[in-house]
Amino acid sequence: MTKTVFLDRDGTINEDVNFLRRPEDVRILPQVGRGMAMLQDCGFRLVVVSNQSGLARGILNEYDLFSVQQEIRRQLSVFSVSLDGAYFCPHHPTRGVVEDLVKTCSCRKPQPGLIYMAAEEMSLDLHQSFMIGDRLRDIACGQAAGLPSILVTTGRYQDDGPLRSWPNRPDYVAADFWEAARWIALRSGKREVNESIDS
């Protein structure tokens, strides 16, 4: 059984452009490569869990999704990081043109279905795992699966102002991915984190 950090994609790993579908639009956010490398050094698996309702809406297809994912992997490899898995919800409950994908599912965040699916397929230990994301639904998803869940203010929210009205309080609010990774590392027993490495 393996400890894991579950990761939202858009706004957490890469810049959130609406319905990202072109590899040339992939821009990894600052501090992400460095933070991921540190988490992998600490023995965490890295697994993406991402809503991609653009599939249901007909805005992108499976090839687009794959191409973007390949580009994200390529850019992360510069940091010697390799993602261990990626799980996507292609559905939307109401909006869409692809008939099979317009439905209420259990994998669209804030539902925790993607985390459970990954945990079962990859034998991941949810008791030692964490969630990082940039939206309320990421926090709600992680917490529904029992994971300490960290909000990064690099995507939808640039500060923690809106959180005051949220039903789910993040376990930690991080200015960027490095801060999130550091919090996880220290919380899971690492004694110190070397701050001197440049991004």
Q: Which residues contribute to the site for Mg ion (CB under 5 A)?
A: 8, 10-11, 134, 155
Q: Of 106 and 199, which CB lies nearer to Zn ion in the complex structure?
A: 106
Strand order of the sheet with strand 172-174?
85-89, 45-51, 4-7, 130-133, 149-152, 172-174
Q: Is 173 a binder of Zn ion (CB under 5 A)?
A: no
Name the one range near Zn ion by CB under 5 A: 64-72, 102-110, 118-126, 136-144: 102-110
Does 150 help bind Zn ion (rule: CB under 5 A)?
no
SS3 call for 47: strand
Q: Binds 98, which of Zn ion, Mg ion, none (CB < 5 to 8 A, cut-off by type)?
A: none
Q: Does 91 bind Zn ion (CB under 5 A)?
A: yes
Q: Which does 60 bind (CB under 5 to 8 A by kind): Mg ion, Zn ion, none?
A: none
Sort residue 131 into left (φ over 0), alpha (ψ -120 to 50) or beta. beta
All residues at 6 or more sequence positions from 30 whose CB lies less than 8 Å from its CB, including other chains: 154, 176, 177, 199
**87 or 177: whose CB is closer to Zn ion?**
87
Fill in the per-residue mask, 46 to 75: x = in contact with Zn ion (CB under 5 A), - = not in contact. Answer: ------------------------------
Choice between 89 and 173, CB closer to Zn ion: 89
Given candidates 60, 86, 107, 119, which one binds Zn ion under the rule CB under 5 A?
107
- Is the Cβ of residue 91 or residue 156 nearer to Zn ion in the bound state? 91
* Close Cβ partners of 77 (under 8 Å, ≥ 6 residues apart): none
CA atoms of 142 and 139, how far apart (whole Å): 5
Cα 147 from Cα 132, distance rounded (Å)? 10
The rounded Cα 132 to chain-centroid distance in angstroms is 6
Task: Using CB under 5 A, list all residues that contact Zn ion.
Answer: 89, 91, 105, 107-108
